[in-house]
Amino acid sequence: MSLYQLAKFIVSIIFYPLFRIKVRGKENIPKEGAVIICSNHISNLDPPVVGITSPRVIHFMAKEELFKKTFLNKLLTGINAFPVRRGMGDRNALRNGLKILKEGKVLGLFPEGTRSRTGELGKPLAGVGFFALRSDAVVIPCAIEGSYKPFRRTIVTYGKPVNMAELRGQKASAQETADTIMKEIDKLLKDS
């Protein structure tokens, strides 16, 4: 059993009953091939929650500062996270993300780049659009709703794939693509 599988098992048995997690739209995630899961970001608990509710292994970008402590570095690397320097174009992180997608794996991104303090959706960073346009990945919007208060319902909704063919046909920029993905996340939040 890999560290990822072990972590997923342990976190699942704690989080599902504690946060009364309900998952919708899991069938929208392709069983194979490159996928980008794009979720809103309301808490530090979002990555593990997306990780346990997705049927596939996810590779997350995490802020570089978290990798500075030896224990955390080993843990994050063991659960397929990789570092990103925030606030600047981190070429290494971009290369890592594209490599993951080229290998037909799943990349997990939080387009806002940081947690929303208010719960409202923030402006997405262009990076998510970069990955979507530079790969053949299926882009799946994801919406997390709830307060992460014990025994209160948390809902994770995976939407239908974003129409990338249309965006590519329009020669959309990375920022326009990121904005479109965010609109899809917003729709999921409003429709629930």
At 35 the pLDDT is 98
Query: What is the domain partition of the chain in residue ranges?
Result: 3-191
CATH number of 3-191: 3.40.1130.10
What are the pLDDT digits (tens) for 6-28?
A: 999 999 999 999 999 999 999 99
At 191 the pLDDT is 86
Cβ neighbours, 10 Å, residue 174: 18
End-to-end CA distance of the chain: 36
Beta bridge partners of 61: 82
Contact 161, 117 (CB under 8 A): no
What are the pLDDT digits (tens) for 66-80?
A: 999 999 999 999 999
What are the pLDDT digits (tens) for 98-120?
A: 999 999 999 999 999 888 877 78
Distances (CA, A) of 141 to 134, 176, 182: 17, 15, 8
pLDDT, averaged across the chain: 94
In this prediction, residue 87 has a pLDDT band, given cuts at 50, 70 and 90, of low
**Residue linked to tokens 């509710």:** 53
